[in-house]
């Protein structure tokens, strides 16, 4: 039923004011077959990246213009949902806690093992891909749901709860034949053939806060 997600290339965005670190990471990531773009500051990164780009961000926690933690908050305000890996030479436990609370998926202290970082990056990219697939799926379900009339939306909700046509008719104070007609239209518009399938779609909508 759902449209396949476009096979977009995921990119690793490295944000670090240390040119040596940027260059070293770029080399290792390139050798690992991971597309990479590096930036010397948070400002450069925010100006170059938009919310449609997938991958992950590797961010130094200590930078002169804007630290990694505030960049995390700025990303949220800009609608950038990239998974964040924080790197630091300070091992600041409080900063690590703050980073995780803000949604960072990992926190590594310099010097770190490049192979470990690459493994964490691959995990973050896969996490981002799953999130984007789910977002696309929910968006398509919402588009179909919005094509339903208010009455059809009511019927969908009750069908998804497992109610029979007779019970739905009583709940909505309409005839059973009318319920059958609405039910058939709901299944057709939502692109499914059964009540269990409809229930799964309704669950997706509820999880996304869309109904």
What are the tens digits of pLDDT across the range 65-110? 778 888 988 898 888 889 999 887 766 667 777 777 777 888 888 7
Q: How far apart are CA 87 and CA 85, in angstroms?
A: 7
The pLDDT of 119-146, averaged and rounded, is 92
Reply yes or no on whether the pLDDT at 1 is more than 50: no
Residue 152's pLDDT band, with cuts at 50, 70 and 90, is very high
Q: Determine how many CB atoms are found less than 10 A away from the CB of residue 42.
A: 23
Q: How many percent of the chain have pLDDT more than 90?
A: 57
Note the pLDDT of residue 202: 92
Domain 11-133 of CATH type 3.40.630.10: no
CATH 3.40.50.2300 domain span(s) along the chain: 11-133
Tokens of 39: 């930036």
- Phi, psi for 88 (deg, rounded to 5): -155, 155
Query: CA–CA distance from 148 to each of 157, 172, 178, 198 (Å)?
Result: 12, 16, 15, 13
Q: Determine how many CB atoms are found less than 10 A away from the CB of residue 181.
A: 14
The residues with which 15 forms a beta bridge, in sequence order, are 39, 59
The pLDDT of 25-45, averaged and rounded, is 93
Residue from 129, 135, 175 nearest 9 by CA: 129
Reply yes or no on whether the pLDDT at 178 is more than 50: yes
Q: How far apart are CA 152 and CA 184, in angstroms?
A: 10
Q: How far apart are the first and last CA of the chain?
A: 20
Q: The domain 147-207: what is its CATH number?
A: 1.10.10.10
| pTM reported for the whole predicted model | 0.73
SS3 assignment for the chain: CCCCCCCCCCEEEEECCCHHHHHHHHHHHHHCCCCEEEECCHHHHHHHCCCCCCEEEEEECCCCCCCHHHHHHHHHHCCCCCCEEEEECCCCHHHHHHHHHCCEEEEEECCCCHHHHHHHHHHHHHHHHHHHHHHHHHHHHHHHHHCCCHHHHHHHHHHHCCCCHHHHHHHHCCCHHHHHHHHHHHHHHHCCCCHHHHHHHHHHHHHCCCC
CATH 1.10.10.10 domain span(s) along the chain: 147-207
Reply yes or no on whether the pLDDT at 4 is more than 50: no
Q: How far apart are CA 132 and CA 81, in angstroms?
A: 9
């Amino acid at each position: 039923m759902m449209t396949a997600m476009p096979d977009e290339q995921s990119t690793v965005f490295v944000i670090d004011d240390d040119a040596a670190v940027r260059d070293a990471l770029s080399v290792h990531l390139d050798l690992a077959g991971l597309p990479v773009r590096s930036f010397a500051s948070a400002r450069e990164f925010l100006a170059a990246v938009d919310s449609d780009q997938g991958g992950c961000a590797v961010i130094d926690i200590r930078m002169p213009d804007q630290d990694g933690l505030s960049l995390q908050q700025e990303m949220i305000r800009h609608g950038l949902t990239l998974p964040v890996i924080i790197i630091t030479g300070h091992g600041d436990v409080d900063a690590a806690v703050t980073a995780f609370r803000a949604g960072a998926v990992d926190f590594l202290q310099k010097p770190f093992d490049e192979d470990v970082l690459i493994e964490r990056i691959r995990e973050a990219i896969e996490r981002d891909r799953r999130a984007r697939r789910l977002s696309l799926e929910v968006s398509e379900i919402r588009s179909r749901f919005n094509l339903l009339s208010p009455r059809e939306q009511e019927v969908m909700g009750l069908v998804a709860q497992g109610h029979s046509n007779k019970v739905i008719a009583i709940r909505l104070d309409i005839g059973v034949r009318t319920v059958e007609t609405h039910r058939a239209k709901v299944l057709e518009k939502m692109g499914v053939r059964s009540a269990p399938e409809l229930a799964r779609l309704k669950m997706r909508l509820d999880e996304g806060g869309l109904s």
